[in-house]
Structure 1
Amino acid sequence: MLSLRLRRKPAQSKLSKFNRPNKTAIVTLKSLTPVQRVEERYLSFSIDISVVAGGFWWEGSQKTKDGLGTERIPPIDLNQKKLDLLVQALGPAYLRVGGSEADKVHYFTTSRTPSDPAPLIITQQIWDALHQFVERNQLGFMFTFKYGLFNRKQHGDWLPEETQGLLQYCRQKGYKIDVCELGNELNAYWAFHGIRSQPSANKLAKDYDRFCRLVRMVSPDSRIAGPGSAFWPKLGETIRPFSNITTHLLANMEERLDIIDWHYYPFQSKRSPVRTRTATLEKVIAPSSLDDFEQYARQLSRWRNKHQPSATLWTGETGSAQCGGQAKLSDRFASCFWWADQLGRGALLGQTTMVRQSLIGGDYALINRKTLKPNPDYWVSWLWGKLMGQEVYQVECFDPDIQAYCHSGKKEGKCTLLIINMTSKPKRILCHNFGAKKKRFEITAASLTSKKVRINGAKPKFNNGKVKLRDFPKLSKLNLVSPYSINFWCFEHQTTLKETNNSPSNEVYSAQPTPAKINNVIPLYPDEEIKPDTVPAPAPINVISLASDAQNTNED
């Protein structure tokens, strides 16, 4: 497996030939009229029900059994001050509790005795602690209710008693469930629970209608999401016509959905029984690996427009690699790039919420379950939450090596440009129509397989339980981005920018616009001479080796 080890050198008065930007990328803000708007809780996250209730999980597992890890773990202790601080630092979010065992878990509110030899049970203590965690950290709450594993002859006759009992308990206790969904990845039952468990779209529509009516009767303030189908890179909903159920389910439902959601992982771990793009270092840092998300997001948008036009679109579950993430890769710096891109791309494509699997638990977690230390992509999430607002703007960038996305800032009159450089070369970026650049934040690491990152050259850390933007050194206003870096550039945008769009559009925009000639491109700083050979380099990072030590655990 490819491993790129990177070493920092002191700032130089001249860029070496090796580190010289190979060309200039021009990024143009097309308009200050938003093309999309995301929820305040756009960047959200999940804790798998196996972690919450103590089921079979991934850390230490080398393979899968019935779609699960092979290691049984104890229920997570949610009453930890450090965990609260890490969650609160990420800002407003939904917490989703779902996952494969959501369809076999037992609720304490049912009187039925589980027949399983070692049943997974959400006890009253676990349920109360979960809601206390949600309330304490001011989170929204999304819960995946049990659809159940049963013979296909019973599909279309879903029994609501267990769900009804849990909803009634929540009403009595004053617990709020903001979003309810039925079943986890119902189109993939054939893969995880056996062929005879796979529901048809027509019968599932009847069950979902019954679920919608129940939720609106017992918990009328809750929104309803569905169907949460799993999409695989290159395959989509996989086997036709057996498991591509989303469009048929939506067409056959009588009730209204508030949210149409779907699940997507750009890679699969080596544990996964179904692999269309195995998580390797080469693939994780390849821009071409990011394209499938756009194809399926557009597909969901068309289906929504046709069958449930009032519903919003959510990516209801996403992570670096299916089946727990890839060990020694999903928790490394290399796994930051897909996440930064999918946050930007998803917002541009009309996904109003992005639910990350997972907050804690698994190799793909934002927070290490055993140590409570943030993984590298926690800091991507933290900067996104601090700098990226709800309004999404259209930008143009025709450099294939650069991904660029723009949102409003957190204050009026500001915008933030996300720039992702997935190459081993520095890049010069010229920004057109953005206004005055005020601050820059750059995420880098000593190597792609590093477990620790730097923001503006400094290691991020909590001081007295907090971490703030002003904790990091200021970068110069040079228009350079480092090799393998994720950048947030903050601007006070021009009020005189000519509006090319007079009103918001319902069109789903492409993350990579069709190339066109750009005229009259003006550098952000017109009196700044563009001479790459004489511009000081901001501590360039050099590639010094291409080795096969993919197991590198560099802590630098």
Structure 2
Amino acid sequence: MGMNGVFVSFTAAWFLLVCHGPYVRPDVFEKFDLEAVHVDVDLDRAFHRVNERFLSVAIDASLVAEEKFMYLLASPKLKTLSSALSPGFLRFGGTKQDFMEFNPYSYHQHRRNSHRYLGDMCKRLELPPALEESLRKEWTLQALLLQQEERKGKYRKVRFTEYAVDLLYSFANCTGLDLIFGLNALLRTSANSWNSQNAQMLLDYCESRQYNMSWELGNEPNSYQKKAGVQVDGYQLGQDFVHLRRILSESKLYQFSGLYGPDVSQPRDHRRDLLEGFLENAAEAINACTWHHYYVNGRDTSLEDFLDPDVLDTLATKTYEVLETVAAASPRKRVWLGETSSAYGGGALGLSDTFAAGFMWLDKLGLGAKLGLDVVIRQVLIGSGTYHLVDDNLDPLPDYWLSVLYKRLVGPEVLRASVLSALKPRRRLRMYCHCTNKKSTSYKRGAVTLFALNLGKSTAEISLPAYLANSTAEAFVLQAPEPGEQGLLSRSVKLNGVVLKMVDERTLPELRGVHHHAGVPLSLPGFSFAFYVMTEAQASAC
């Protein structure tokens, strides 16, 4: 192999963790023989480049079920946390979006005063501490009620005003995120086509305020029959999007704005037929094709699932199906994971908001970019359920810190990596490689970032070849705050041995790497994940 490839040798003892539901059973490990795993990375060229907003986030539309909770978006603490995830898209959508209607208090007055608040919006819309504390306490109960509604599958209609829109746009604008607003597609005419009247009123209001944003129409149309007794086929869904694109094209502000869809669930039987029919009619109307992915059902999953390589590999199967479908109908159309997390049904209680969830999240980021997805939108930044990045007290959870490190260290250029092994146990170490992010770091040009997750119990030692062994590195190792299963189920995380937490409500801690001396093998502890910035890789692709 030439000097422009990276040859990384891993030697580790692999163990198989066996669990039973609902979450954990006592540790039972089956020992494998020592295995040497070789990773070859092509440093000459990037084989794929993702959107610079690849890691993006969502706010669940359930937040507006009672409009007062939208004021949580004016929290200085939440704004501080969200700003660290910029650049990125902010999707406002989900199941509740198809039960929302815009009902402004003073629509015509706002049209006459279109620029009144734009100048000082970030300062004006800031939540006082006492009100924030009161809303946080009330939100805990509200989240339980929303979860009950989700389980029953009966959704009440919600009306929102211009104040909710102002708060949402202010939040996105003040944190450097690009807003995507999900419109209600279940407003139908007698002919079962989309009724755009309410959306038109919302668009007019947003344009009067000069709110620069993108749009979606509907959420998981494959489930309309189950949710609302409405059947929409691919042809009609496509016509609805063509209708929306026509409306946008007539707007001075939105004629070139993004339109994304159809936000169908992962392909299976009629869902794939729905996607095919949609693309045949509306591929030109959308900027990217969106679909949703979750690994497991949050109501009957286990810790074992979160650590199972076979479960992680299901993402590749579903992604290939979607990419093939889109390529057949519209070659070169970009594909997004428009909504995704660990477990559907609001997440897995005691798992989706813990350290263990990071294995699914980091692998999805690595594998998704490698497969060719352009954007991955995490469900959710804040909202009901247990798969959020920020909890009901607005404190960051382990996946939040993982996301911030990914944002800072991983660039959009994806390098081709292949893992070779003579043995075939279930692979417990997974690695990906990108150019290091040039915009948010001061590392030398040509630096690369290796990131890996170790699903096994034992430490993996990573030996680099001579031409990389002489290079220094920065290591960012994330571990549970304590060993054993209880550590994996913790809602905290350690970076290089230090538990991460905010300094105060407006300040994040320094996320420092550990200097790694040249010539010393890298080391990845069991049940951990890490980023290694190879500062002197001199990759021509980077």
State the TM-score, normalized to the length of structure 2: 0.77
Aligned positions of 1:434-473 closer than 5 A: 436-445=471-480, 446=482, 447-463=487-503, 465-467=506-508, 469=510, 471=512
Relative to its length, the structure with more strand (as a share) is: 2
Deviations 1:290-320 (A, max 9, x none): 1121122122222222222242111000011
Q: Report the equivalent of 2:448.
A: 415
Sort the Cα spacing of 1:458 and 1:496 in 2 relative to 1 into closer, same or farther, 3 A.
closer
TM-fit CA distance, 1:398 = 2.9
Which piece of structure 1 moves more, 252-261 or 294-303?
252-261
**Is structure 2 residue 249 aligned with structure 1 residue 222?**
no
Within 2, Cα distance between the matches of 1:472 and 1:439?
5
Gapped regions of structure 1 (runs ≥ 5):
7-17, 56-72, 271-277, 505-556
Relative to its length, the structure with more helix (as a share) is: 2
TM-fit CA distance, 1:244 = 3.5
**Is structure 2 residue 224 aligned with structure 1 residue 174?**
no
Question: Please, which of 475, 483, 487 is the counterpart of residue 526 of structure 2?
Answer: 483
Q: Report the equivalent of 1:360.
A: 382
State the secondary structure of the residue aligned to 2:532. Answer: strand
TM-fit CA distance, 1:148 = 1.2
TM-fit CA distance, 1:474 = 4.6
Sort the Cα spacing of 1:171 and 1:434 in 2 relative to 1 into closer, same or farther, 3 A.
farther
Sort the Cα spacing of 1:86 and 1:348 in 2 relative to 1 into closer, same or farther, 3 A.
same
Sort the Cα spacing of 1:463 and 1:98 in 2 relative to 1 into closer, same or farther, 3 A.
same
Sort the Cα spacing of 1:254 and 1:430 in 2 relative to 1 into closer, same or farther, 3 A.
closer
Sort the Cα spacing of 1:118 and 1:188 in 2 relative to 1 into closer, same or farther, 3 A.
closer
Write the letter of the residue equivalent to 2:246.
Answer: R
Sort the Cα spacing of 1:474 and 1:434 in 2 relative to 1 into closer, same or farther, 3 A.
closer
Q: Report the equivalent of 2:114.
A: none
Question: Please, which of 149, 160, 176 is the counterpart of residue 196 of structure 2?
Answer: 160
Deviations 1:439-464 (A, max 9, x none): 01111112211111111111112235
Sort the Cα spacing of 1:431 and 1:52 in 2 relative to 1 into closer, same or farther, 3 A.
farther
Question: Please, which of 378, 385, 393 is the counterpart of residue 407 of structure 2?
Answer: 385
State the secondary structure of the residue aligned to 2:285. Answer: coil
Aligned positions of 1:150-549 closer than 5 A: 150=188, 154-155=191-192, 157-177=193-213, 179-194=214-229, 197-218=230-251, 219-231=254-266, 236-237=267-268, 240-241=269-270, 244-253=273-282, 255-270=284-299, 278-361=300-383, 362-369=385-392, 371-398=393-420, 400-411=427-438, 412-431=445-464, 436-445=471-480, 446=482, 447-463=487-503, 465-467=506-508, 469=510, 471=512, 474=515, 477-495=520-538
Within 1, Cα distance between the matches of 2:500 and 2:403?
13
Within 1, Cα distance between the matches of 2:496 and 2:271?
50
Q: Report the equivalent of 1:100.
A: 95
Q: Report the equivalent of 2:55.
A: 43
Kindly tell me the number of residue pairs found equivalent between the two proteins. Answer: 449
TM-fit CA distance, 1:324 = 1.2
Aligned positions of 1:2-13 closer than 5 A: 3=24
Within 1, Cα distance between the matches of 2:311 and 2:382?
25
State the secondary structure of the residue aligned to 2:301. Answer: coil
Deviations 1:81-140 (A, max 9, x none): 11111111223111100011111101025999xxx9974112111111111111111110
Within 2, Cα distance between the matches of 1:211 and 1:303?
23
Aligned positions of 1:71-110 closer than 5 A: 74-109=69-104
Structure ranking higher on relative contact order (CA contacts 8 Å, 6+ apart)? 1
Write the letter of the residue equivalent to 1:424.
Answer: K
Within 1, Cα distance between the matches of 2:32 and 2:95?
48
Write the letter of the residue equivalent to 2:507.
Answer: K
Within 2, Cα distance between the matches of 1:437 and 1:403?
22
Within 1, Cα distance between the matches of 2:88 and 2:222?
27
Within 2, Cα distance between the matches of 1:53 and 1:181?
19
Write the letter of the residue equivalent to 2:58.
Answer: S
Sort the Cα spacing of 1:21 and 1:427 in 2 relative to 1 into closer, same or farther, 3 A.
farther
State the secondary structure of the residue aligned to 1:424. Answer: coil
Which piece of structure 1 moves more, 214-223 or 133-142?
214-223
Within 1, Cα distance between the matches of 2:44 and 2:382?
37
Within 1, Cα distance between the matches of 2:86 and 2:285?
30
Write the letter of the residue equivalent to 2:175.
Answer: N
Sort the Cα spacing of 1:242 and 1:161 in 2 relative to 1 into closer, same or farther, 3 A.
same
Within 2, Cα distance between the matches of 1:366 and 1:43?
13
Sort the Cα spacing of 1:164 and 1:414 in 2 relative to 1 into closer, same or farther, 3 A.
same
Deviations 1:193-241 (A, max 9, x none): 33xx12111222222211121122221131111111011xxxx33xx34
Within 2, Cα distance between the matches of 1:353 and 1:263?
12
State the TM-score, normalized to the length of structure 1: 0.75
Work out whether residues 105 and 122 of structure 1, in 8 Å CA contact, stay in contact via their aligned partners in 2.
Answer: yes
Sort the Cα spacing of 1:119 and 1:248 in 2 relative to 1 into closer, same or farther, 3 A.
closer
Gapped regions of structure 2 (runs ≥ 5):
1-20, 108-153, 422-426, 439-444
TM-fit CA distance, 1:74 = 4.3
Q: Report the equivalent of 1:530.
A: none
**Is structure 2 residue 46 aligned with structure 1 residue 34?**
yes
Within 2, Cα distance between the matches of 1:37 and 1:54?
40
Within 2, Cα distance between the matches of 1:368 and 1:401?
29
Within 2, Cα distance between the matches of 1:431 and 1:192?
54
State the secondary structure of the residue aligned to 1:47. Answer: strand
Within 1, Cα distance between the matches of 2:55 and 2:298?
23
Deviations 1:332-362 (A, max 9, x none): 1111100000001111111111100000122
Q: Report the equivalent of 1:120.
A: 158
Q: Report the equivalent of 2:139.
A: none
Within 1, Cα distance between the matches of 2:177 and 2:94?
19
TM-fit CA distance, 1:258 = 0.9
State the secondary structure of the residue aligned to 2:45. Answer: coil
Within 2, Cα distance between the matches of 1:495 and 1:74?
49
Write the letter of the residue equivalent to 1:307.
Answer: A
Among all aligned residue pairs of Structure 1 and Structure 2, give the percentage whose two residues are the same amino acid: 28
TM-fit CA distance, 1:154 = 2.9
